[in-house]
Structure 1
Amino acid sequence: MMILKKILLSAAVLFTALSGFAQEKMIDKIVGTVGQKIILKSDVESMAMQYKSRGENHGDNLKCFVFEELLYQALLVNQARLDSVEVSDMQVDGELQRRMMMFEEQMGGREAMEKYFNKPYSEIESHFREIIKDQLIAQQMESTISGDISVTPQEVKKFFKSLPKDSLPLIESKIELAQIVIHPKIKDSQIEQIKKSLQEYKERSEKSEDFSFLASLYSDDLASAQKDGDLGWIRRGDLVPEFAAVAFELDKPGEISDIVKTEYGYHIIQYLGRKGERIHIKHILKIPKPTTAEKIKAKAKLDSIAESIRSGKITFEEAALLYSDDEESGKSNGIVVNPYTGTSEFTSSQLDPATNYILKQMKTGEISEPFESTSMKGKPEIKIVKLLNKTEPHIADINTDYQQISDLTKAHKKTELISNWIKKIQKTTYIKIDDSFYNCDFKYKGWLAK
C-alpha cells in the first residue's frame, strides 16, 4: 500500500537498452538496415539478455527471434516517416520521464543509477530519448495499421470453431461478492500517540538521525519502507490531494513537513529536490490500529447483523446500506467493484489474502462469520461477506465466455492485419541483414528476399 495512485508502466525495452548502455565498450557493427533505420549488434545482444533474464529463451533461436522483433520495429518507424506519422515532443518527454522515474526507483535512486552506468543522469536521459521516440512512433504506426478493430458475432463463432480443442484457453475462476464492513473505532489517545511518534521522528531527523533509517524502521507503508521511505520523483497528480498540497510547498533539501493526515493515515514528508513539475520525496506513514477491545465490539455488531440477515429480519442489501462503513459498496447493495477492471468479478489473486481464504470455504449465497481484513488503502477492517457467484476454472465455452472469446478474435484479426502489412511493405522497402543472420528461420521470409 502506498499513497501513490496506481501507475502501470511498461519498461522492458528501456531496461534492455539500459543494459546494453551499461556494458563495457564492445566492437559494434550494423547487422540490419531497414530503409533509413539501422540495427546494431549491441541492440540484439542487449535485448536477448533481457529476454533471458525473464526466463524467455525461445530455444536456440533467441537471437533470431529478437532480431526479427527489431526488424519489425524498424519497418514500422521507417514507414511512419514516409507516411508522416509522428508523435509530439511532449509525448516523448512524458514517456521518457515516466520510464526513467520507474527505473530510478528500481535501482534505489538517481545516485545509484548514475553509479551503475558510470554516467551522469543527463547523458543517460539523452541517450534514450531517441530510443523511446522510436518506440512511440512504432506503437502509433501499428495503431494506424490496425485501426479500431471490431468483430461480429458471426466472426467470433467462426474463430471459436476454428480453434483446435487442445488450444482452447483456460478461463480462470471468477468470484463475485458483497460485503458489510465495520471500521473499528480508533481512540483519540491512539491518534495522539501516533502524532507524538511522528513528531519525535521529525525532531530526531532534524537533529542528527537519518530520515531514511527511521522510515525503514517505523513506516507502515511497507512498500516504500523497503526503499527507506523513498517515493521517487513524482508529479502532483500522482499523489492524494492532502499529501500533495504539503509536499509541493517544501523547497529546501532535507526539509521535513509537519504531520499530514490523509485517507491512508498520518505522514511526515522529507523533501529532497525538484526537477520541473516533479519533486523527489520520502515519507513515514503511521496507520492508526484499533485495540483488541474495539475489534471485539465490531465483530459482535457484525455477528448481530449477520444473524438478522439469516433469520430474514433484513436483507443483506438493506443491511449493507444501513450499517456498512464502506460507502462505495454500501450504496451498491454491498457489491464490491474490482478496481482493476471496473466490474464485479475478481480472480483469487485480486482479493486480499484474508477475504480470499474465507471465500474459498464458502458456497454461493452463504454469509461468512465476521473476520479481520485489510482495505485497499491498507487500513484494518472487520467484515462479513456474501458469496454471490463463483465459477470454477474451465475450458473456454462460447456460451458462457463470449466476451473473452470476442477479445481473442479481435487479437487474431489484428495479428492477421499486421502480418499482411509486413509482407506488403517488405516488398517495397530496402532491407539488408548481416550474413550471420541468414540461417535464421524468420516468421516473415521477406527479410531475406533481397
Structure 2
Amino acid sequence: MKKYLFIALLLFSGSLLAQHIVVDKVVAVVGDNIILKSEIDQQYAQYILQGTKPDPSIKCYLMQTMLSQKLLTKQAAIDSIVVNDEDVDGEVDRRMRTMISRAGGEERLEEFLGRPVILYKDEIRPDIREQLVAQKMQAKITEKVEATPLDVKRFFEAIPKDSLPTYNTEVEVGEIVVYPKLTKAEKETYKDKLEALRLRIKNGDSFATLARLYSQDPGSARDGGELPFFDRHTMAKEFTSWAFKLKPGELSPVFETEFGFHFLEVLERRGENVRARHILIIPDSPPASLERAKVEIDSVYQQVVAKKLDFSNAASLYSGNNDTKYNGGMILNYESANRTTYIPTDKLEPSVFLTVDTMKVGTYSKPDVFTDNRGKKGYRFLYLRSKIPPHTANLEQDLPKIKEAAYEDKINKVISDWFEKRRKATYIKIDKDFYSCDALKDWFTEDMKVTATNND
C-alpha cells in the first residue's frame, strides 16, 4: 500500500520544468490520453533542480505518477470535477516563488529555463490545472472514508507484537504570551516611515523596488511584495478589508494588523479572490514597551500559580498568540493529522524543550523574554500539563496516533482498489523503455508482462 502514498506525494509535488526537447515520442497511453517522453524528462529535470543526485530510476516513479494522474483526470471529466482559474493561478505563483528561491533569483531561473518567467508560467499552467483536478478527484474518492473505533481496534490487533512501534517521550505544553503594546506615540514612528514610502510610490517610485528594500515580510519581499491570489478568509481581517475595498491600481492607507504595519496595492480582482502586493514593517520593541509587557505577564503568572485564575482561562483572556490562546493555551502538534496536543520532545521548539525538560508535570516556568518565528519579541511562561515516557504503542496512551495510522491504511486501500478497477477497465500501453520498472508492474497488461519477461 505504501506505493500509493508515494504516488499521492509525487502527484502534487514541485512544478514541471520545461526544456527544449528536439526528439519526442509517446511513452504511454491511458485511454484517450498520452504521456510524452518530454513530460517525463521535464519532471526529472525538476527532480534534479531540487538539489538531489541524478538517479534515472526515478523516472519509473514519475511515470507511475503520471499514469495515476491520467486515470484520475479521466474520471474527473466524467464526474464534472473542475478547478477555478484563481486556484490555478495561486498554485502557479506559489510554485514559481519556490523555484525562484531554489535557483537563487529570478534572473538565474530564467537563464536555466532559457525563457522569461512570465512565458514559463503560461506553459506550465495546463499541467498544474491537470494536477489540481487529479488532486480534487482523489479527495472525492476518499471523502467518505473514516476509521471507526472497531477499525482502529482491528488495525492495532493485526500488528504483530514484535512489530509494534515505539514512541519517544511526549509532552503536552501550554503557553501564555504577552507581546509589547506600543503607545500611540510609539506607533506613529512606524506609520510615518511607511507613509513616506507610500508617498514615494504615489510620486512614481517603483513599488517592487521599495518592497525588496524595506518590506520585512520574508515571504513576499523578494517578489516585490507580491502575494498570490487570496480569498476573504486567508489574510488578517484588516488586510482583507482593504484588499476587497480597493480597485486594481489603488493604494491603501497605512494600517495595522497583528503582524505589524502595512499598506497595500490591489493588482487584480477575480470574483471573490484578490491578488495584491504590500510592504510590511514589523515594529521593534522599545525597552519601555517590553517593561510594560513584563509587568503584565508577571501579574498573570502570579494569579495562575496562586490558582486564582485557571491557566486555560488566563490564556484566552491575556495571551497574544492566536495559534494557542483559543486552544486553552495548549501548543498543537501540527505534524499530526488530528492536531493533537501530544508532541514528541524532539519536535518541540528548542527553547521550549530546554525549558520543559527540567519541569515537573503540573508546574509553570517563570516568565521570560523570547523571540517568535516572525522575529517579534515578547514574554511568555510555559505550563507542562502531562508527560508520557518512552513506550511501546498501546491503545490506551496512543489512540490518536493509532487512529491516524488506521485511517491512512484505510485511505490507501480505497485508493488501491480504485486504481485496480480503473486499470482493468482502461486501455493502457507503456513503452518498452519502461518494462524494467518494478514500480510499474501493476500497470502492465498481460502482453506487456510477457514482452518484459522475454526481454529479461
Q: How many pairs does the alignment contain?
A: 431
With 226-235 and 91-100 compared, the bigger mean Cα shift is at: 226-235
- Using the TM superposition, give the Cα deviation of residue 32 of structure 1 relative to its aligned residue in structure 2, in angstroms: 1.0
Q: Tell me what 2:294 maps to.
A: 299
Structure 2 counterpart of 1:95, from 52, 69, 87: 87
Q: Write the mapping of 1:275-286 to structure 2, written as runs, cut at 5 A.
A: 276-277=270-271, 279-286=274-281
Q: 1:345 to 1:270 in 2, by over 3 A?
A: same
For the structure 1 residues 263 and 386, does the alpha-carbon distance in structure 2 shift closer, same or farther, using more than 3 Å as the test? same
Q: Give the TM-score normalised by structure 1.
A: 0.77
Q: How does 1:15-414 map to 2 (within 5 A)?
A: 18-19=16-17, 22-54=18-50, 61-78=57-74, 84-88=78-82, 91-106=83-98, 116=113, 118=115, 121=118, 124-125=121-122, 128-129=125-126, 131-143=127-139, 145-146=141-142, 148-164=144-160, 168-169=164-165, 171=167, 174-207=170-203, 210-251=206-247, 253=249, 256-271=251-266, 273-274=267-268, 276-277=270-271, 279-303=274-298, 305-307=300-302, 309-310=304-305, 312=306, 314-317=308-311, 320=314, 324-326=318-320, 334-336=328-330, 338=332, 340=334, 343-346=340-343, 354-374=351-371, 379-392=376-389, 395-414=392-411
Q: Deviations along 1:307-352, whole A, 9 cap, x unmatched?
A: 5654x46355388279735497998795335395665445668866
For residue 411 of structure 1, report the CA deviation from its aligned partner.
2.2
Q: Is the 8 A contact 1:335 1:344 kept in 2?
A: no
* Aligned counterparts of 1:212 and 1:118: Cα–Cα separation in 2: 21
Q: Show the counterpart of 1:4.
A: none
- 1:383 is aligned with what amino acid? R
1:100 is displaced (CA, Å) by 1.6
Contact 2:262 2:280 (8 Å CA) reproduced = yes
Instruction: Give the partner amino acid of 2:398.
Output: D
Q: CA deviation at 1:423?
A: 3.6
User: How many Å separate the matches in 2 of 1:322 and 1:78?
Assistant: 49
Separation in structure 2 between the aligned mates of residue 420 and residue 333 of structure 1, nearest angstrom: 39
Q: Distance in 2 between matches of 1:155 and 1:14?
A: 29
TM-superposed CA distance for 1:298, in Å, is 3.5
Gaps of 5+ in 2: 1-7, 448-456
Residue 435 of structure 2 corresponds to: 438
Deviations 1:192-220 (A, max 9, x none): 21222222223344456544444344333
Q: Does the CA-based 8 Å contact 2:211-2:279 persist in structure 1?
A: yes
**8 A Cα contact 1:39 1:70, kept in partner:** yes
Contact between 1:34 and 1:431, CA under 8 Å: does it hold in 2?
yes
- The AA in structure 2 aligned to 1:103 is R
Q: Which residue of 2 aligns with 1:3?
A: none
Provide the identity percentage: 30
Cα contact 1:64–1:437 (8 A) shared by 2: yes
Q: Is the 8 A contact 1:320 1:330 kept in 2?
A: no
Give the Cα–Cα distance (whole angstroms) in 2 for the partners of residues 12 and 41 of structure 1.
18
> Which deviations, in whole Å up to 9, do the C-alpha atoms of 1:55-88 show, x marking residues without a partner?
777976322222223223333444555xx32213
Tell me the distance in 2 between the aligned counterparts of 1:358 and 1:97.
44
Contact (CA 8 Å) 2:72, 2:138: kept in 1 or not? Answer: yes
**Residues 444 and 155 (structure 1), Cα distance of their counterparts in 2 relative to 1, 3 Å cut:** farther
Letter in 1 for 2:318: S
1:28 match: secondary structure:
coil
**Structure 1: unaligned runs, 5 residues or longer:** 1-9
Cα RMSD for the two superposed structures: 4.2
Asked whether the 8 Å contact 1:316–1:333 carries over to 2, the reply is no
